[in-house]
Amino acid sequence: MDKLTPLTIAVPKGRLQSAVICLLEAASIDCSELRDPSRRLIVPVPGTKWRFLLAKPADVPTYVEYGAADLGVVGKDILLESRKDVAELLDLGFGACRLIVAVPESSGIENVKELDFNSRVATKFPVITTEYFNRQGIQAEVVELNGSVELGPIVGLADAIVDITETGTTLRENGLVPIADVARVSSRLIANRVSYKVKYATIHSLVVRLRGVLAGECSSGVEGAL
Ligand code: PRP
């Protein structure tokens, strides 16, 4: 690995952060500073010209598209929603969940085609949702929320939701059932298109190492985080 080439990796703060750290450490990248960043948002990789940038997950594609970061880790849901022009290099496997359409169980609806004309659909993913319903030929009103989307049908704001589900607990506890799959989601390694050309050797070498880790060629604690 060329540790003399400067490289900035955007790491999403929050639920994916520890899995990212485990994966990078398994690929022999020193994440000691990242494990304890305090309030720093730029964190160096000791002994290299590499650094991490700690970003809100939804902003990772933006930092990468504009070249503020050469690489980034982001969920496929956020990537699809962002419509940013970046290169998707690797499916990292972790953070796996489903993006689904769900309705109140009490509605008796079992298929999206049964939704009424102009049904309201609450979601954090208005772009993906609009495209999905257009593809299905269903007229729907998309209502954008920033979180706790499951509230929408409970309080009469929406007839359905499009949201991610991992364990299914949030849906169940709020009386909702999935009726359609919109997309399979997992974490992706993305690259700035120019960086990928200019720093190809360094980035490619990292991708090869990460592939090796994901294929189980490297013994480490990463499996536990995936
Ligand atoms: C996500 C998602 C669901 C929940 C699904 O929410 O939007 O609400 O997790 O997980 P489960 O199937 O394991 O129950 P998140 O925790 O990110 O919070 P948010 O709803 O405020 O965005």
50-102 residue pLDDT tens: 999 999 999 999 999 999 999 999 999 999 999 999 999 999 999 999 999 99
224 falls in which pLDDT band (50, 70, 90)? very low
Q: Among 97, 99, 125, 165, which is best to mutate for testing ligand 1, by the most ligand atoms less than 8 A from CB?
A: 165
What percent of the chain shows pLDDT beyond 90?
A: 92
Q: Which residue owns the Cα nearest ligand 1 atom 22?
A: 147
Ligand 1 atom with minimal separation from the 173 CA: 14
Q: Which of 78, 150, 166 to mutate to test the pocket of ligand 1 (most atoms within 8 A of CB)?
A: 166
Q: How far is the CA of 167 from the centre of ligand 1 (A)?
A: 9
* pLDDT tops 60 at residue 191: yes
Q: What average pLDDT is seen over the chain?
A: 94
Query: pTM to 2 decimals?
Result: 0.91
When computed from its CA atoms, the radius of gyration of the chain, rounded to whole angstroms, is 20
Burial class (CB in 10 A: 0-12, 13-18, 19+), 175: middle
CA of 88 to the centre of ligand 1 (A): 24
Answer for the pair 73, 189: CB distance below 8 angstroms, yes or no: yes
**Confidence at residue 220, expressed as pLDDT on a 0 to 100 scale:** 44
Q: How much distance in Å is there from the Cα of 112 to the middle of ligand 1?
A: 21
Index of the ligand 1 atom closest to the CA of residue 170: 14
In terms of phi and psi (left: phi > 0; alpha: psi -120 to 50; beta: otherwise), the region of 148 is: left
Nearest CA to ligand 1 atom 21: 147
Predicted confidence at residue 3, as pLDDT, reads 75
Write out residues with Cβ below 6 Å of ligand 1.
147-150, 163-170
| Closest-lying ligand 1 atom to the alpha carbon of residue 169 | 14
Alpha-carbon distance of 76 to 168, in angstroms, equals: 19
Encode pLDDT of 148-181 as tens digits: 999 999 999 999 999 999 999 999 999 999 999 9
**pLDDT for residue 2:** 77
The residues, ordered by sequence, that sit 6+ positions from 146 with a Cβ below 8 Å of its Cβ are 124
* Residue extents of the structural domains in the chain: 7-95+186-225, 97-184
Measure 141 CA to ligand 1 centroid, in angstroms.
Answer: 22
pLDDT at 226: 35
Fold assignment, 7-95+186-225: D-Maltodextrin-Binding Protein; domain 2 (3.40.190)
Judge contact between 93 and 222, C-beta under 8 A.
no
Average pLDDT of the segment spanning 178-194? 98
What pLDDT is recorded for position 55? 97
Q: What does the pLDDT look like over 93-128, one tens digit per residue? A: 999 999 999 999 999 999 999 999 999 999 999 999
Condensed to tens digits (0 to 9), the pLDDT of residues 204-213 reads 999 999 999 9
User: Using CA positions, which residue lies closest to atom 1 of ligand 1?
Assistant: 164
- 97-184 fold: D-Maltodextrin-Binding Protein; domain 2 (3.40.190)
